[in-house]
Structure 1
Amino acid sequence: MKNLSRSSRVLLCVTGGIAAYKAPHLVRGFIRSGWEVKVAMTEASEAFVSPMVLATLSHNRVWRDRDYLSDDSGWHIPHISLAEWADVIVVAPCTADTVARLAGGYASKVMDGAVLASKAPVIVFPAMNVNMLDHSATRRNLDILESMGYVVVEPDSGDLACGYEGRGRLPDVDVIVEEVERALRPKDLEGLSVVVTAGPTREFLDPVRYISNPSSGKMGYSIAKEAWYRGAEVRIISGPVALESPHGIQVIPVTSAEDMLDAATRAMDDCDVMVKAAAVGDYRFASRSEHKIKREGKSEVSFSMIANPDIAATLGEMKKQGQILVGFAAETDDLKENARRKLRAKGLDLIVANDLTEPGSGFGTDTNRVTIFDVQGNSKEVQGDKTEVASIIWDEVLLRREGR
């Protein structure tokens, strides 16, 4: 995925939990995302990970507790310079002791002082024994952090280093990178409830055969993830895809067009924006066999098919004042005419049309070439990877919400 927050500066604060051994992987993940990284370590964390390793990987000096008031470097006022430098501060892992220190506003360590002195977003990743995590004092302190505007990411569950099983594991590097990316993005979709339909539908003839299409769901998932980055609450109504469920987003799995219609109409009641990026089959079999249909020497066979419900048109009729409905049109000919006709007929506010015959466009690719049409007759051609296309789609949605 192309990262849209390159050149950002991340201060990673590493504290003294066993999960500190993962800090080198975090540094590498941040570097791969195009971010500059500096590290501040507590004295306890040095028992689990070498400052030299983190300095080598980050290509920057690592700041340690001994630097706070040292004759050699104290004159730099490291906690102030780090606070002014950082675009986002990540505390990972964050021990119970560190949670308490941050909640209490302590400032006797480099990382404590940097957090207090910074105006940048702070993301806290608690990682500890499950009983420590569930202790009322820890929960109270985490609530205090959230009340101060810090982002607190709940830990994963599983086998813990202490021998217990339960919540307390530091999330995977990819999840931490996603949270940092979200913190770095402008929150121009904050407060909006967004629903995206994605992927193909399947219509079964019998228990082992169905008709479908090659949609990978990549475009819909990119649209959903971009909305989440920009602060929206996001749900995906997803047909069968081979994509992992995105962090931070609720995925509602469906199979058939009728399944998707049911889920979409339910979601339409309480969403602000619905984006219909799924490739829904137009027809289904008139009847479905409960048993596998045998070949039995037949050289040809035919089946009757009937039309599926038109989900976009149904949602267009349901649309309330203030809601925005975005549709997609995958075409092989007469793209402009077909797209504009669907825009009007289905009550859409925007339609995103792509020509499946164009290279780098349509099903299964990581890129897309689309034209966005609105009800005023305007159009915009967009091409790039699907993350970039998704970003521009949301820019256009925001213009419609502002009445432009």
Structure 2
Amino acid sequence: MAERQDLAGKHIVLGLSGGVACYKAAELTRSLVKAGATVQVVMTEAAEAFITAVTMQALSNRPVYTSQWDARPGNNMAHINLTRERPQGRAAPSPPPEGDQEPWGGPAVPEGADAVLIAPASADFIAKLVQGRADDLLSLLCLARPAERVPLLVAPAMNREMWAHPATQRNVAQLRADGALVLGPAAGDQACGEIGDGRMLEADELRDELIASFQPKLLAGKKLLITAGPTFEAIDPVRGITNHSSGKMGFAIARAAQEAGAEVTLIAGPVHLPTPPHVRRIDVQSAQQMFDAVLPQAPLHDVFVATAAVADWRPAVMNEHKIKKDGKKLAPSFELTENPDILAAVASLPDKPWCVGFAAESQDLLTHAREKLLRKNVPLIVGNLGPATFGRDDNTLVLVDAAGHRELPAGDKLALARQLVAEIARRTAGV
């Protein structure tokens, strides 16, 4: 599948302060460029001790700036120009419709950087930002950037003791209070040989956090409960009844909802997918376990999205031991019993959330989706052809409600998830 272009049209100033995590900045630059962004690298003198400007220029395909005395700009004001000017040939994103706001609160602007990302941000550089010090090019441009339209994102990277120090924690708290978005840090092995908090996030994590920062916060203040993946109904200790659902659509919706500002709880069947950032995840196996996890949570949420492909039936009795061949070539038989209907149960609660159901069908999609809409008594059913989408990264969806149906253009699952989230936001506005 082609590389996603979630940062197409975006111009990012990437600042590197001193730290061994500068090696991750090389992969981050590559990742941002692949996602469609132009990247202007600015390095402190300390950063140059860890990685060369030549490397960063090769990866960004742009000259790297390292000094406030750089004479290349005609006005000799790199600290001003770097956040005001957009690279030649790179168009600014289209302005939003009248009345809409950019994710960071201001109207779209015709030129300039779209964000400043400091990765890595050392303890010393964070202190500079908080104190308003401006004794090098990178701290200068952070101080001089038009803060109302050029957000500052900071990815800390330092030893665990430095991160835990009260001075650092005070500085980070003040940095957030001043409007910066702090990304991480993560916990794990550190270059010094110690283990703990202070690792800079990985390149793909930082890329996704940057992408998320640009998404409109359409669900800010909302709580979403989402189910995803298949269920597994045990026949014996090693066998069971399941289906081909990969969970990718549900996980994409969880990511898109979190990007849109929602607080998200994801209840997942047995899948091998990483948890989307900042999403609370509960793992289950069977339909009954999913039911038991969903029902207490549902009244605490504003929206319930039932994406999971829940098995309709389960064995009435699970065999204690593996069912063995008996040599008579007779297939074993066992009685099935119906699983609880999770979506219908949530939709019948007195304090129910706004419900979205999914219908994965093999034929007559619209007919079955509309029947499900009426049977479950929910406002929206999202239909797709299961055999055509299970395990794939793309999908085709149709939205079915009491008024009719509408198809969403075929696309990758994250793009469709963002469209669905926008639809949910529109339909639940004021609810």
Q: Please give the alpha-carbon distance, in whole angstroms, between the structure 1 residues aligned to 2:204 and 2:72.
A: 37
What's the CA shift for 1:89?
1.3
Q: Please give the alpha-carbon distance, in whole angstroms, between the structure 2 residues aligned to 1:159 and 1:250.
A: 24
What's the CA shift for 1:162?
1.9
Q: Please give the alpha-carbon distance, in whole angstroms, between the structure 2 residues aligned to 1:23 and 1:337.
A: 51
**Pairs within 5 Å for 1:141-290:** 141-290=171-320
User: What RMSD over aligned residues (CA atoms) do the two structures have, in Å?
Assistant: 1.8
2:5 and 2:34 in contact (8 A); partners too: no
Q: Please give the alpha-carbon distance, in whole angstroms, between the structure 2 residues aligned to 1:381 and 1:7.
A: 24
Which letter maps to 1:55? Q
Provide the secondary structure at the position in 2 that maps to 1:106.
coil
Instruction: Please name the residue that 1:372 is paired with.
Output: 399
2:398 and 2:406 in contact (8 A); partners too: yes
Runs of 4+ deviating beyond 4 Å: 70-74
Instruction: Please name the residue that 1:9 is paired with.
Output: 11
Match of 1:118 among 113, 131, 146: 146
2:408 and 2:416 in contact (8 A); partners too: no
5+ residue gaps in structure 2? Answer: 85-111
Instruction: Please name the residue that 1:318 is paired with.
Output: 349
Which letter maps to 1:187? K
Which letter maps to 2:336? M
Q: Please give the alpha-carbon distance, in whole angstroms, between the structure 2 residues aligned to 1:80 and 1:374.
A: 52
Provide the secondary structure at the position in 2 that maps to 1:75.
coil
1:54 and 1:62 in contact (8 A); partners too: yes
Instruction: Provide Cα deviations, 1:155-194, integer angstroms capped at 9, x if missing partner.
Output: 2222211232211111111111111111122212222211
Instruction: Please name the residue that 2:103 is paired with.
Output: none
TM-score, normalised via structure 1 length: 0.94
Which letter maps to 2:422? D
What's the CA shift for 1:108?
2.3
Q: Please give the alpha-carbon distance, in whole angstroms, between the structure 2 residues aligned to 1:101 and 1:352.
A: 50
- The 1:102–1:8 alpha-carbon spacing in structure 2 relative to 1, beyond 3 Å, is same
2:218 and 2:422 in contact (8 A); partners too: no
1:239 and 1:255 in contact (8 A); partners too: yes
1:2 and 1:385 in contact (8 A); partners too: no
2:134 and 2:140 in contact (8 A); partners too: yes
| Equivalenced residues, count | 398
Provide the secondary structure at the position in 2 that maps to 1:242.
coil
Q: Please give the alpha-carbon distance, in whole angstroms, between the structure 2 residues aligned to 1:80 and 1:232.
A: 35
Q: Please give the alpha-carbon distance, in whole angstroms, between the structure 2 residues aligned to 1:399 and 1:154.
A: 31
2:156 and 2:185 in contact (8 A); partners too: yes
Identical residues among aligned pairs (%): 40
1:319 and 1:325 in contact (8 A); partners too: no
What's the CA shift for 1:4?
3.2
TM-score, normalised via structure 2 length: 0.88
Q: Please give the alpha-carbon distance, in whole angstroms, between the structure 2 residues aligned to 1:182 and 1:105.
A: 27
What's the CA shift for 1:365?
1.5
Instruction: Establish whether residue 347 from structure 1 lines up as the match of residue 377 from structure 2.
Output: yes
Match of 1:300 among 325, 331, 340: 331
5+ residue gaps in structure 1? Answer: none
